[in-house]
């Protein structure tokens, strides 16, 4: 499959085919593990493929059809663009942020214990569960219900989606997770860095800006319409399995070019687009950057192309609310 050709306003309907054998992060010059390490890596990949298949089958079996009626004010825009900026009612926003404050404090304390510049992506997040944070979940669900967000998500997914996870996230200018793979190799940072689709199925999220977020403090961005990417069942499987494989054991990235061509797919593909690629230029031309001036909450389909948290100056605080 080749990169999509066409005008800057042509829909981006495929994830590009990238030559990983020639890529400096994965191909020539990246090194190759020995036979024993290669075998271990391939076995681990097969294990993750089996895990993703099993998880998907379990999710489909547990799926509860959505049969409710009622107002779905964000459904049309979500279907068309994959992203809906909106504003929560002031009282609802205050309730959510008040309930989230102790968890932000806990995350900030944990981050202070880690040397600046050495924080991993996970060091910027704190997950909460319904059992562990009942007041926070209650405030979030009230806000989503009153705004018609939860009903819109259920209609969009066609199932009785519920809030599964609420994550506090803090990023600042010293975070290097999105720059380090390039800086450590003396490579230029691509303009398309960190563009990705999530390696999950049937998930819609809401991001709530807990701080003021401008152009340099890591705003969320989305490529409208890419929620309709033409990703087949098998390609979707490889995208998810390969990302999990490399996320868990980054050294397995060196094996990516040795996989069969159909399996050389990554959900986090933005880092891999060559700087002169037409597909990357069109991606940047259609990117919609959403600061907190656009809305204090962003409803989006995680299957569309997006990125965020690339902070140049200051700090960004958000809540990520996952619904499935």
Q: What is the DSSP string of 181-242?
A: HHHTTTPPPPTTTT-B--S-SS-EEEEEESS---TTB--EEE-TTGGG----HHHHHHHHHH
**pLDDT-based confidence at 7, cuts 50/70/90?**
very low
Closest CA to 308 of 291, 284, 285: 291
Q: Please report how many Cα atoms fall inside a 13 Å half-sphere around the Cα of residue 160, on the Cβ side.
A: 8
What's the CA dihedral at 245, 246, 251, 254 to 10 degrees?
Answer: 100
Contact 128, 101 (CB under 8 A): no
Q: Using alpha carbons only, what angle is made at residue 13 by residues 203 and 162, rounded to the nearest 5 degrees?
A: 10
The H or E element containing residue 243 is helix 233-248
CA 114 to chain centre: 24
**pLDDT-based confidence at 1, cuts 50/70/90?**
very low
Sequence-ordered list of residues with C-beta below 8 angstroms from that of 157, at least 6 positions apart, any chain: 66, 202, 204, 324
Which of 184-188, 198-202, 213-217, 242-246 ranks highest by mean pLDDT? 213-217
Q: 274 in the Ramachandran plot: left (φ > 0), alpha (ψ -120 to 50) or beta? A: beta
Closest CA to 210 of 267, 155, 145, 140: 140
Give the C-alpha separation, 77 to 74, whole Å: 6
The tens digit of pLDDT for each residue in 138-173 reads 999 999 999 999 999 999 999 999 999 999 999 999
Q: Output the pLDDT for position 11.
A: 59
Q: What percent of the chain has pLDDT over 70?
A: 95
Give the C-alpha separation, 218 to 196, whole Å: 15
Cα–Cα distances (Å) from 87 to 97, 149, 220, 240, 299, in that order, read 14, 11, 15, 32, 10
What's the CA dihedral at 145, 148, 153, 158 to 10 degrees?
Answer: 100
Q: What are phi and psi of 57, to 5 degrees?
A: -65, -40
CATH number for region 20-323: 2.60.120.620
What mean pLDDT do residues 36-46 have?
92
pTM of the model: 0.92
pLDDT at 174 over 60: yes
Q: Please report how many Cα atoms fall inside a 13 Å half-sphere around the Cα of residue 273, on the Cβ side.
A: 26
**pLDDT-based confidence at 28, cuts 50/70/90?**
low
């Amino acid at each position: 499959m080749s990169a999509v050709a066409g005008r800057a306003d042509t829909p981006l309907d495929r994830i590009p085919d990238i030559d990983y054998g020639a890529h400096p992060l994965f191909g020539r010059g990246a090194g190759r593990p020995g036979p024993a390490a290669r075998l271990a890596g391939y076995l681990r990949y097969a294990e993750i493929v089996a895990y993703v298949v099993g998880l998907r089958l379990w999710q489909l079996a547990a799926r509860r059809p959505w049969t409710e009626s009622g107002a779905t004010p964000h459904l049309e825009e979500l279907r068309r663009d994959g992203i809906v900026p909106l504003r929560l009612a002031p009282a609802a926003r205050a309730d959510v942020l008040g309930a989230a404050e102790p968890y932000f404090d806990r995350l900030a304390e944990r981050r202070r214990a880690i040397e600046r510049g050495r924080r991993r992506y996970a060091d910027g997040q704190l997950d909460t569960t319904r059992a562990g944070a009942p007041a926070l979940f209650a405030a979030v669900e009230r806000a989503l219900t009153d705004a018609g967000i939860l009903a819109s998500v259920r209609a969009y997914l066609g199932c009785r989606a519920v809030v599964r996870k609420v994550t506090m996230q803090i990023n600042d200018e010293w975070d290097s997770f999105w720059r380090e793979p390039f800086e450590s190799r003396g490579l230029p940072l691509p303009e398309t860095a960190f563009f990705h689709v999530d390696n999950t199925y049937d998930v819609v999220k809401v991001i709530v800006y807990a701080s003021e977020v401008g152009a340099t403090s890591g705003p969320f961005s989305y490529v409208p319409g890419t929620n309709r990417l033409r990703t087949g069942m098998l390609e979707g499987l490889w995208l998810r399995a390969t990302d999990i494989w490399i996320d868990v054991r980054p050294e397995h990235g060196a094996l990516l070019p040795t996989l069969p061509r159909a399996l050389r797919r990554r959900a986090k593909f933005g880092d891999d687009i060559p700087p002169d690629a037409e597909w990357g230029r069109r991606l940047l031309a259609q990117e919609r950057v959403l600061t907190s001036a656009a809305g204090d909450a962003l409803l989006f389909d995680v299957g569309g192309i997006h990125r965020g948290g690339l902070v140049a100056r200051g700090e960004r605080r958000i809540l990520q609310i996952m619904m499935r």
